Amino acid sequence: MSTEHFPIEPWCLREPALDLERLARTESLFSVSNGHVGLRGNLDEGDPHVLPGSYLNSVYELRPLPYAEGGYGYPESGQSVINVTNGKLMRLLVDDEPFDVRYGVLRRHERSLDFRAGLLDRQVEWVSPAGQEVQVRSRRLVSLTQRSVVALCYEVEPVGAPARVVVQSELVADEELVQLAKGDPRAAAALSHPLESEEYSAEGTTGHLVHRTKRSGIRIAAAMDHVVSVPDGVTVDLRADAVADWARTSITCRLEPGQRLTIVKLVAYGWSRRRSLPAVRDQVAAALTAAMAAGWDELVAEQRDYLDDFWERADVEVDGDPELQQAVRFGLFHVLQAGARAERRPIAAKGLTGPGYDGHSFWDTETFVLPVLTHTAPAAAADVLRWRHGTLPLAMERAVQLGLRGAAFPWRTINGEECSGYWPAGTAAFHVNADIADALTRYVAATGDVELEREIGVDLLVQTARLWLSLGHRTMSGAFRIDGVTGPDEYSAVADNNVFTNLMAARNLRAAAEVAVRHPDLAALLDVGAEEVAAWRDAAAAMCVPYDDKLRVHPQSEGFTEHAFWDFSRTPAEEYPLMLHHPYFQLYRHQVVKQADLVLAMQLCSDAFTPEQKRRNVDYYEPLTVRDSSLSSATQAVLAAEVGYLSLAYDYAAEAALMDLHDLHHNTAGGLHMASLAGAWTALVAGFGGMRDHAGELSFAPSLPEGLDRLAFRLVRGDRVLSVEIRPSEAVYSLVKGDTPMTIRHHGAEVEVAPGEPARRPLERVPDLQAPHQPLGRAPARRRRS
Amino acid sequence: MSTEHFPIEPWCLREPALDLERLARTESLFSVSNGHVGLRGNLDEGDPHVLPGSYLNSVYELRPLPYAEGGYGYPESGQSVINVTNGKLMRLLVDDEPFDVRYGVLRRHERSLDFRAGLLDRQVEWVSPAGQEVQVRSRRLVSLTQRSVVALCYEVEPVGAPARVVVQSELVADEELVQLAKGDPRAAAALSHPLESEEYSAEGTTGHLVHRTKRSGIRIAAAMDHVVSVPDGVTVDLRADAVADWARTSITCRLEPGQRLTIVKLVAYGWSRRRSLPAVRDQVAAALTAAMAAGWDELVAEQRDYLDDFWERADVEVDGDPELQQAVRFGLFHVLQAGARAERRPIAAKGLTGPGYDGHSFWDTETFVLPVLTHTAPAAAADVLRWRHGTLPLAMERAVQLGLRGAAFPWRTINGEECSGYWPAGTAAFHVNADIADALTRYVAATGDVELEREIGVDLLVQTARLWLSLGHRTMSGAFRIDGVTGPDEYSAVADNNVFTNLMAARNLRAAAEVAVRHPDLAALLDVGAEEVAAWRDAAAAMCVPYDDKLRVHPQSEGFTEHAFWDFSRTPAEEYPLMLHHPYFQLYRHQVVKQADLVLAMQLCSDAFTPEQKRRNVDYYEPLTVRDSSLSSATQAVLAAEVGYLSLAYDYAAEAALMDLHDLHHNTAGGLHMASLAGAWTALVAGFGGMRDHAGELSFAPSLPEGLDRLAFRLVRGDRVLSVEIRPSEAVYSLVKGDTPMTIRHHGAEVEVAPGEPARRPLERVPDLQAPHQPLGRAPARRRRS
């Protein structure tokens, strides 16, 4: 029954037959979400399941963070995303038999997630153990237009013989979970039953539950209503029940073969930490009323319109590799789902698709996800930046606690407070602050959104610049050093002058100086004077960037190239990821790289390296980089493409795109890797498109690998949309929206793209250079060549 | 009632009047121990108390070590010393009133600990609230000659009027304790009631309790017996009771004024992890029988003989500073108490004087305590080394777990397993392995104990040398680097080429090569071949020792001198110790030193530095060193003396010696600082005596600071004892034991000291140089000049 991979289709992910072995993975892959509400692809009837998941962005429970040996400034409490009230449950009884795919005969079980419809569709033909056949179809959506609303359409039809059918449509709170937090029974206890009932009801076709989290004190309400349709002459019996942790609408009828019971279930969610119970209850009731007024068909139509609009400006076309075509759309769809309606809430590393990483947001959001949203759904990017800005007071408190100035944003968080319990790979990774500043700077450059720059940008840039000035210091020779910090590579930590961190800090400092000059009124409110701006500029100019003169490469951090090499020849496949089989101290003291670090610096601070240096650095770091992090392959794709390793870039691009579809890191079960899904876009656009957006201008250096016949993508640029179409022999730039011409660069040369006047530029055929090798056994899968 | 400091007396520590404010401190200071059994100076009657403490060396309970974020190789379980059955309890009832110093009138309360008698003596005159006066005297010893035995002599005499007196002599298990492990309720729970009763009895004058620890499964037995004496005509009523957690002998009589009740209480302890209950019970009964046969007077006489013998070879005389004289003897007495009968058990950082540091042993033992014992009580030093060797199998397992070869000894432990829950200041501090090797090498050089070298030395040196070879690596230029380790200074961590670590590792490698050559038979058993020995020698010769050419000083670790300086001008006194008020990441990235690190390297590897370098390094590190660790002042004394800062050396010597007597770190309550107490000896002998023992030979470079008129000490050297007597104008070396002459060095020149022929050498008056300053507010107290 199991097929290795999913069928290749351009606009949907389809599972032709149920594979219980990979149920946990499909629960993640078939998630539907709008960034506010997220539902894992659990089966409608609840069982079997691995991780039941219904999430509300920023609804978390607190759990203690214990330490064998404590230390000043360690966070004492962490946040964990919780599985909230499950509103997607539809249990079915056929005659006397509960519908369960593990019993009887499953004649057909097909699920598909349509990227243009935004719907999860499931079609089932099942023969009960007693021999009664039924057809079941369910469709499920989380509305992209009505933020709080989940809609389901559930249809049952007996085949061959009449059947008595009972559908129990439910809201269920505090579902039993497998243990999430290994090793600490107290943390597990805090998360296993986080909800306390405050109110419940069921009447007629409606039901509602109100709960509150025990420690974090977040109130959560869920309400449901139903529209039941049957053919004329069929009698429907309705019954409503509710207790503290569940509400149920039971719909009973007797159907002849060919007669169909159709139930539209609408669920609305609401939550608040501060609003009263009646307020939250009413908010949910209002959302439900609006959804009922719209009805299933309108919700479906709105969903399609929303997605048509998105794909119109965001689609990436890949000719010559249909699997990659499917994967990049799958990725874009899920990135959109994670951010579309997040609205001043974070985008977690796993979006709302699973409990992985405790539902935390990391630098992934700003460094990997926002660049994609900035160019495809800029309003969503702006909202995430507003969320960060909303946590600025907490980041400023944290800086004071750490003996620093400005703002120190958390390494991992939901509500803005630091949740990292291991400071060498948490607090010490200060680059997150520069990553935030960079995402903001690029967003403003791409959108021209000066209003957002004034609303949040000046604050963010000034306070992060202040952090860097307090973190670094001048040597007697005048260099500005940043010592004892951790860069992107988590297999090194607490090192001096990490090149990525230092270059990104310099960008941050320069950007702060620029906004202070652009917005003197706001700068004055923050007490930014000429002296401070000069200090930022000077520190940026004097920033220490270590270079190994003998090897003629940049050490990732000072001294890195003098460390011992990891012995890959003695590291068998089963010892990956290395951090699960080797102590940190060993990883840190060796030249072994978990994820692109210096190589990422070469992507994001491209102008700080010569082409020669880039090639040599790639050659140096490729044999050291094991990609135990999902954040690496897209970046390696971009740099491999830039330095001419086109086949290798293609391999990496495919790896990033297929991370979850092929479960390459064996943990898709816990949720999808948003950064890698976004990275698929980046690998294509910045890799083969060669797109860079450093100094506020767009540049391209297209070059296709053998096997790809055409790559086309679009970039939103303020009120314009630029289309880029690349074929082996030429690139065509055109404005598909916008009235004024736009200047870009193509392989260094200025190109003006005017409305109605596509600019064509021939491409030279560049040789596909022989790429350096990767650590033994860690090469990416070779992408089949056409 | 409180006096700031204790009265200055040459041979005892005396508290003339009870000071309840410093009860916790005197509980530690008045501890009596033999290294096997240790009793805190709790009042006989139990109340009031701060930390009741009765310890058996290596009796611990296990507790979970929790992590907010786990990691490969983190220890999951730690060991904590526990308060075992309290055998020192003697409650007194006078008529109807329990004797409690907080009620009635305390006319006199004097305690003294005699360093020559090895006895804690307490004399009390108390008037009960009802007006009855009594005199109470108690004496307490833990026998240095009978390892398992505690003896008490308790005397009561009414004054003025007859009184009915009841003395309840008890064994009490599982006493209520104040919470020890903050922040982790599970750990506290594991330690608050660790004992489970297995057996109990009381009959006549005897009682016994057998318990077992709940998790670690250690069986502990305690038994008591009594000899009761009263004047003729006085009737004594005896009653015996026992339940699971206590056994009690009640002694009742009516005394006329001047009549004295004398109770000698003997207690024997035994424990085992493997032996059966009857075996442990009988072992304790046998020890008690032997002690009863000896009786109080003989135990007291044996104690005196043992200590006379010790002081004969160990005493240090300091003329001109009676407080320092008292302090150095106090320190030597407690160091002896910690190690005298440890016998293949560790010496903990706090000895058996309190629960501080969980009762763990650290590198303190080998680096600070063993050098003193090696020269004053070498048999005790040998036994501690045997304990380390006994844990070699665990250290070899740990090395495998960490991906290393040879042996990786734990940073902190009781039973040999790593208990450190913070690897950057635990596992990464690999220097502990070289410290062990060094202690062994110096012990063998001092004693000529080739038998011990064969028994354990070859094993220890070979396996630690193997560790270093696997920890370090060669660069292309041939240097041997040791990256990513933590040196002695805990305000830096995980740095490359820590000078102390590298130099000590080189010593370790050379010593291993030498023993392999000296004992080829044993080397062959360990598969040590010529290639391996050559590799050790080559690595030692190529050892990387970073040097800052611009500043002309040794950076503590690579890059240290490029870090920012700590801003001491903005660090108020209440922010010390810094680690309680600043995050580790800030400490690690600044030039701020908790404790001598590079400076300790200059003491222990004196021959690796020129005199010029030593002076410049001291000048560089003095202004950076805050001494938040008690392990620093003795080392700073030694180097200050060497480079000519004699007054500063004097200040540091006094600080080391007075660490606990003046409670300089405000934590003497938790137990005494054995390393600092030992350091007082080192500060005098290696500081003003200039004693070094690097290459197996003894050298001296005496020089007294202003204020000291004479310094005399003795050093055991095999079967010889060398006496060194230093006056401002001359040094006299003489053999007080031994038949053959001995060659030493005096300020570089060879001196032969023959039996009966003291060698006198004049001393030049050297100027007391102007010393560098310390961080603001962190200068040691100036020692008053005579």
Average pLDDT over chain A reads 96
Alpha-helix runs per DSSP H in B246-391 = 277-314, 322-339, 364, 370-376, 378-390
Q: How far is CA A754 from CA A730, A737, A742, in A?
A: 18, 10, 6
Cα distance between residue A461 and residue A440, in whole Å = 8
- Over residues A228-237, the mean pLDDT reads 97
Per-residue pLDDT, B2:
39
A514 CB neighbour count, 10 Å cutoff: 16
Q: Quick: pLDDT tens for A95-140.
A: 989 999 999 999 999 999 999 999 999 999 999 999 999 999 999 9
HSE-CB at B336 with a 13 A cutoff on CA atoms is 27
Per-residue pLDDT, B766:
87
User: Residues B490, B558, B622, B725: which is the catalytic one?
Assistant: B490
Confidence of residue B186 (pLDDT cuts 50, 70, 90): low
Per-residue pLDDT, A786:
45
B530 CA to chain A: closest CA distance, Å?
25
A542 CA to chain B: closest CA distance, Å?
15
Q: Quick: pLDDT tens for A455-494.
A: 999 999 999 999 999 999 999 999 999 999 999 999 999 9
Confidence of residue A222 (pLDDT cuts 50, 70, 90): very high
Q: Does the pLDDT value for residue B187 go beyond 90?
A: no
Cα distance between residue B393 and residue B390, in whole Å = 7
Cα distance between residue A671 and residue A262, in whole Å = 31
Q: Quick: pLDDT tens for B327-385.
A: 999 999 999 999 999 999 999 999 999 999 999 999 999 999 999 999 999 999 999 99
Q: Quick: pLDDT tens for A78-91.
A: 999 999 999 999 99
Q: Does the pLDDT value for residue A159 go beyond 80?
A: yes
Cα distance between residue B252 and residue B254, in whole Å = 7
Instruction: Kindly identify which residue of chain A lies nearest to residue B564, measuring between CA atoms.
Output: A473
Lowest pLDDT segment from B144-153, B175-184, B280-289: B175-184
Residue B593: closest CA among B774, B781, B428: B774
Per-residue pLDDT, A209:
98
Q: Quick: pLDDT tens for B56-96.
A: 999 999 999 999 999 999 999 999 999 999 999 999 999 98
Cα distance between residue B469 and residue B505, in whole Å = 9
Residues in contact with B443: Cβ distance below 8 Å, sequence separation at least 6, in sequence order:
B370, B374, B378, B381, B382, B385, B449, B452
Confidence of residue A5 (pLDDT cuts 50, 70, 90): confident
Q: Element (H or E) spanning A213, and its range?
A: strand A206-213
Q: Does the pLDDT value for residue A428 go beyond 90?
A: yes
Give the length of chain A. 786
Per-residue pLDDT, A186:
57
Q: How many helices (H) and strands (E) does chain B have?
A: 20, 31
Q: Which amino acid is at A248?
A: R
Cα distance between residue B605 and residue B697, in whole Å = 14
Confidence of residue A187 (pLDDT cuts 50, 70, 90): low
Q: Quick: pLDDT tens for A327-370.
A: 999 999 999 999 999 999 999 999 999 999 999 999 999 999 99
Query: Which residues of A are tagged catalytic?
Result: 490
Q: Which amino acid is at B433?
A: N
Instruction: Kindly identify which residue of chain B lies nearest to residue A400, measuring between CA atoms.
Output: B582
Instruction: Kindly identify which residue of chain B lies nearest to residue A404, measuring between CA atoms.
Output: B586
Q: Quick: pLDDT tens for B7-17.
A: 999 999 999 99
Assign B202 to helix, strand or coil.
Answer: strand
β pairing state of A742-746 and A699-700: parallel
Q: Does the pLDDT value for residue B185 go beyond 70?
A: no
Per-residue pLDDT, B626:
98
- Over residues A391-396, the mean pLDDT reads 98
- Tell me which chain B residues have a C-beta less than 8 angstroms from the C-beta of A586: 402-403
Pull the structure tokens for residue A532. Answer: 């401070």
Interchain proximity B558–A559, CB inside 8 Å? yes
Q: Quick: pLDDT tens for A39-68.
A: 999 999 999 999 999 999 999 999 999 999
HSE-CB at A157 with a 13 A cutoff on CA atoms is 15
- Tell me which chain A residues have a C-beta less than 8 angstroms from the C-beta of B184: 66-67
A508 CB neighbour count, 10 Å cutoff: 27
β pairing state of B590-591 and A473-474: unpaired
- Over residues A520-529, the mean pLDDT reads 98
Per-residue pLDDT, B182:
52
Q: Does the pLDDT value for residue A15 go beyond 60?
A: yes
Interchain proximity A68–B421, CB inside 8 Å? yes
Q: Does the pLDDT value for residue B177 go beyond 90?
A: no
Look up the ipTM and state it.
0.92
Per-residue pLDDT, A696:
80
Q: Does the pLDDT value for residue B1 go beyond 50?
A: no
Residue A313: closest CA among A717, A12, A721, A677: A721
- Over residues B443-450, the mean pLDDT reads 96
pTM of the full structure: 0.95
HSE-CB at B376 with a 13 A cutoff on CA atoms is 28
Residues A225/A177, Cβ–Cβ less than 8 Å = no
More confident residue, B759 or A176: B759
A422 CA to chain B: closest CA distance, Å?
6
Q: How far is CA B283 from CA B146, B225, B246, B278, in A?
A: 13, 15, 20, 8
Q: Does the pLDDT value for residue B111 go beyond 90?
A: yes
- Tell me which chain A residues have a C-beta less than 8 angstroms from the C-beta of B579: 71-72
Cα distance between residue B565 and residue B589, in whole Å = 9
Cα distance between residue B255 and residue B490, in whole Å = 60
Residues in contact with B288: Cβ distance below 8 Å, sequence separation at least 6, in sequence order:
B149, B223, B224, B225, B266, B267, B268
Cα distance between residue A487 and residue A490, in whole Å = 7
Q: Which amino acid is at A234?
A: V
- Tell me which chain A residues have a C-beta less than 8 angstroms from the C-beta of B422: 67-69, 71
Mutate to test the interface with A, among B550, B585, B594 (most CBs of A within 10 A): B585
Mutate to test the interface with B, among A65, A69, A182 (most CBs of B within 10 A): A69
- Tell me which chain B residues have a C-beta less than 8 angstroms from the C-beta of A478: none
Q: Does the pLDDT value for residue A761 go beyond 50?
A: yes
- Tell me which chain A residues have a C-beta less than 8 angstroms from the C-beta of B403: 582-583, 586
B560 CB neighbour count, 10 Å cutoff: 28
Residues A779/A785, Cβ–Cβ less than 8 Å = no
Q: Does the pLDDT value for residue B686 go beyond 50?
A: yes
Instruction: Kindly identify which residue of chain A lies nearest to residue B477, measuring between CA atoms.
Output: A562
Q: How far is CA A256 from CA A35, A134, A228, A260, A405, in A?
A: 41, 11, 17, 8, 73
Residues B207/B201, Cβ–Cβ less than 8 Å = yes
Pull the structure tokens for residue A448. Answer: 């021209």
Q: Does the pLDDT value for residue A443 go beyond 70?
A: yes
A781 CA to chain B: closest CA distance, Å?
28
Residues B687/B709, Cβ–Cβ less than 8 Å = no
β pairing state of A54-56 and B37-39: unpaired
Per-residue pLDDT, A180:
45
Q: Is B76 an active-site residue?
A: no
Q: Does the pLDDT value for residue A179 go beyond 80?
A: no
DSSP bridge partners of B733: B724, B759
Count residue pairs from A and B with Cβ separation < 8 A: 156
| A69, A428, A563 member nearest B483 (Cβ) | A563
